[in-house]
Amino acid sequence: MNIYLILVTLISLSAVFTYINHRFIKMPFVIGLFFLSTILSLVILSERWWDSGRYMETRA
């Protein structure tokens, strides 16, 4: 992944999170963005418990 793709992905995620916050959650900007980013991080980290067979294959 080159740096341009990483930056575009992060900016796009930030825009989507800001829209969700503004439209549904209605928290202040920074708090809402932090809240949604934390939830996404927890979902990504907990993914290894969803399908432990695939996780074990990638670790081996």
Q: Residue 3 — very low, low, confident or very high, per pLDDT cuts 50/70/90? A: very high
Q: Cα 6 vs. chain centroid, distance in angstroms?
A: 13
Name the average pLDDT for the chain.
Answer: 86
* Mean pLDDT on 22-49: 90
pTM of the full predicted structure? Answer: 0.71
CA distance 31 to 27: 6
